Amino acid sequence: MPSPDRPDAIRPLRYRARHTTRYDYGEEVPVSQHLVHLMARTHPRQRCRRSQIVVSPTPAVRSDYYDYFGNPVSYIAVQKPHRWLEVASEIEIEVYPPPPFNQEATPPWERQRYLARALSGAEETGSIGQFVFDSALVCCNRELLDFAKPSFPQGRPIGLAVLDLNARINDEFAFDPSATTVTTPLTEVLARKRGVCQDFAHLAVGCLRSLGLAARYVSGYLRTLPPPGQPRLVGADASHAWVSAWIGGDTWLDFCPTNGRQADADFITLAWGRDYDDVSPVRGVTTGGACQGLTVSVDVELIVD
């Protein structure tokens, strides 16, 4: 990563992101336990300057650690009766744009399939191989393979092929929050051609893995811009999901099927894994609480010097 102190360096975008998740229970809950993926991870294009998570009521147990995929995660347990639970995070981060990318200079996709298979059993390269196989929410099948094939003719550079798949999903599928849930099978998403960012990310991951390529699911935020002349609405942003495909060496190509674009400095990474189940922002279990309401507020603010 270039040093921001160098006069010729590309300067990053700086963000402050706030994310609040609140559960309101229909009755007192004696115990609740949650895993929280809301502290941005560091990677070659992103540096986390500050992060904090505040939980109310105060948990009896809290443990901050890194999960199997290298994501920062918090385990919290509230062990006294409570009618509500709020998890509020705030992070400040720097995000650099991706380096110049020549799609045609990338290797043929078949070569990367061969290497991904060869690396899947090598312990020192497990960070690549583990993203080739099926996961809880992404299971390869013939339908995914058939949808992927037109983007991957013989000998095509993998960068061109991946971004062609990205464009096709964006062109052929409609964003519709009412069409699916997080557990909707990919076969239904394919049939309906409707869904949300999680669906489209799962779809792209499934297409790539059906070809034997390594792909991971990325959770984070996308900076949104208000219409011209309108103020930015605080709390109107949302969590986002996109895809990272291994295209050789240490290089992963991040792309967003929902918006049909390569991920750039507008994309803030929280965590990555095999699918949403690995990196959901807040997930947990409660004892009691027959019914509950959920409220989520996300605000991503560009910090201007």
Q: Taking the domains of the chain in order of start, what are their residue ranges? A: 13-96+281-303, 103-278
Q: If you classify domain 13-96+281-303 with CATH, what class do you get?
A: mainly beta
Please state the rounded mean pLDDT for residues 283-299: 84
Order the strands of the 261-262 sheet from edge to edge. 261-262, 251-256, 239-248, 215-222, 267-273
Query: What integer pLDDT is reported at residue 6 of this predicted model?
Result: 35
Please state the rounded mean pLDDT for residues 127-140: 92
Question: What mean pLDDT value characterizes the chain?
Answer: 90
Q: Is the pLDDT of residue 7 over 50?
A: no
Query: What integer pLDDT is reported at residue 235 of this predicted model?
Result: 55
For domain 103-278, give the fold.
Answer: C8orf32 fold (3.10.620)
More confident residue, 278 or 2: 278
DSSP 65: E
Please state the rounded mean pLDDT for residues 115-141: 80
Q: What percent of the chain lies above the pLDDT cut of 90?
A: 77
Q: What percent of the chain lies above the pLDDT cut of 70?
A: 92
Grade residue 101 by pLDDT with cuts at 50, 70 and 90: confident
Q: Is the pLDDT of residue 175 over 50?
A: yes
Give rounded-to-5 percent helix, strand, coil for the chain: 25, 40, 35
Query: What integer pLDDT is reported at residue 29 of this predicted model?
Result: 92
Query: What integer pLDDT is reported at residue 119 of this predicted model?
Result: 75
Nearest 10 degrees: CA dihedral of 130, 135, 141, 147? -80
Number of residues written out for the chain: 305
User: 12-63, pLDDT tens digit by residue?
Assistant: 999 999 999 999 998 899 999 999 999 999 999 999 999 999 999 999 999 9
More confident residue, 230 or 216: 216
Query: What integer pLDDT is reported at residue 232 of this predicted model?
Result: 64
Query: What integer pLDDT is reported at residue 9 of this predicted model?
Result: 56
